Amino acid sequence: MTSADMIPSHKAVAVILAGGLSSRMGENKAEIKFRGTSMLERLEQELSAYFEKVMISTRAGTSSQLVATGTIGEIVEDVLPGRGPLGGLFSVMKYVESELYFAAACDMPFPDGQLAAGMIRAASDTFDVVIPRMNNGNLHPLFAVYRRTCLPFIDAQLKTRNNKIIDFFDRVNVLYYDEVLLRDADPQLRCLENVNTREDLERIIRMEDEN
């Protein structure tokens, strides 16, 4: 993809959510190495090939740690500490204005920028949220698109101390991006894999070796 084909920042911004505590991993997941490259760097490299602007959401007081890793994205610290990924998305929406925001967790070792760009296109002018939905009904809110029109609903929900991302969906127009569409782009659904524990990391390394 040439620079002329990249998604301009006024149209959409890629958001890497890197503000978690990584309690089950025991160390910052964004800095975990996979095939010699940190999870965060893999995401940045992939998304920056499709999005003109990549933002990184992190906890208050931790931006200097990310800078030390050599991150290339612009960092936004949480304005509402301890509110999870929804608070991180809210912080980025407040910081930078765009029409759409593609949000991804920082612990995804097989990011797919082309699929992310396809989900941005699927939002068109109609949908406020584009979210993967599995055949069993499971949703993936941390590999999804959110329109700026979601901001007041997110704000109102956070004020109730409810941090669950999908709980405002009944007030917006949602496109459920079904599993068959995801598998057209990624037959093994590797783009939705995430790493919460050392066991997850070992499993994904084994899976990569088998391929």
pLDDT tens per residue across span 12-27: 999 999 875 544 444 5
Q: Do β-strands 143-147 and 100-105 pair in parallel, antiparallel, or remain unpaired?
A: antiparallel
- CA dist 54 and 49 (Å) reads 10
Residue 168 and residue 1 in contact, taking contact as beta carbons nearer than 8 Å: no
Give me the mean pLDDT over the 50-56 stretch: 94
Taking the C-alpha atoms of residue 11 and residue 18, their distance in angstroms, rounded to an integer, is 22
Residue 149 has pLDDT above 80, yes or no: yes
Q: Could you give all domains of the chain from N- to C-terminal order, each with its CATH number?
A: 3-210 (3.90.550.10)
Give the tens place of pLDDT for each residue, 84-109.
999 999 999 999 999 999 999 988 88
Confidence band, pLDDT 50/70/90 cuts, at residue 9: very high
The least confident of 16-20, 55-59, 65-69, 203-207 is: 65-69
CB 101 within 8 A of CB 13: yes
